[in-house]
Each structure stands twice: as C-alpha cells, then as structure tokens.
Amino acid sequence: MVAGQILDMESENHKVNIETLERIHALKTGELLKFAVTAGAYLGDATEEQISYLQDFAYYLGLIFQVQDDILDVIGDEEKLGKAVGSDVSNNKSTYPSLLGIDGAMEMKKRYTDRAKELLMKANADTSRLIELTDYFSERDH
C-alpha cells in the first residue's frame, strides 16, 4: 500500500496512462481488499485454486471502487459524499474520467465489474456476498 501511495503522490501534476493508474489503485485499495478477501478465503477453507481466483477478483474489486470514486468526484452529490466534488481536478490528479471521459470511465467500470464476477464464478464457491459487494462498490453514490 505504501508503494501505491508513493506512486500516487509522484503522479500528481503529471498525466499518467491508464496502466499506471491501474497500478496505483491495485497497490493501494487493491492490496487492502486482497488481504481481506484472502483472509476470508483461508478462514473458509478455500482451496489454493479458489484463493487464486478470489485474489484476482479482489484486484478488480479495488479498481471498481476507485473508478467509481473518480466518477463521483466529477458527478457525485456533495451532500451524500460529505466533501466537495472536483478535488481530483483541483489537485491535478490523473483519474479515469480525466483519461477516458465520464462515459469511458463508466465503460471501464463495467468491464472491471464483469471480470470480477467472472472470477467469482470460477472460484466455484458461495460468493453471493462478494457479488453483492461488487454491485455495491459499482453503484454506490457516496
């Protein structure tokens, strides 16, 4: 997570490409979620194959969270968010909307969501709560 934060800070005031943006988010939010999902998988006696699919799922779950966060920073309701929108622009940060536009960011979020759900299906386990979490992260308004 520290590496992701360093990359994020170094990227301020620079336009990064989508691959670098994904790397930043994977190292920050993605690693946090990967730990939580992996711990749950171990506690649930998942097989190594299931754990591998679930860790890949967590990568995409982190990206879903971040792309929605970026979208909300542009079109979110300040009252629901509890903060001013537009802070990413004022901080000159590269975001999904700044790189892809709002429609492109929403399309990317859909791709991440579809991939996350595919990985959950491959895990061949009771992933109903993780599917709910994926939908929540994708559709949240705060």
Q: Domains in the chain and their CATH numbers?
A: 2-139 (1.10.600.10)
pLDDT in tens, 45-78: 999 999 999 999 999 999 999 999 999 999 998 8
pLDDT of residue 9: 87
pLDDT of residue 92: 82
Residues of the chain with confidence (pLDDT) below 50: none
Say if residues 94 and 15 touch (Cβ distance below 8 Å): yes
Give the residue among 74, 59, 73, 66 at the shortest CA–CA distance from 115: 59
pLDDT of residue 82: 83
Which residues 6+ apart lie within 8 Å of 95 measured at CB?
21, 70, 73, 74, 88, 105
Structure tokens at 65: 């969270």
pLDDT of residue 142: 92
Give the residue among 97, 95, 116, 115 at the shortest CA–CA distance from 105: 97
Structure tokens at 61: 């779950």
pLDDT of residue 66: 96
Tell whether pTM > 0.85. yes
pLDDT of residue 48: 98
Which residue type does 62 have? Answer: G
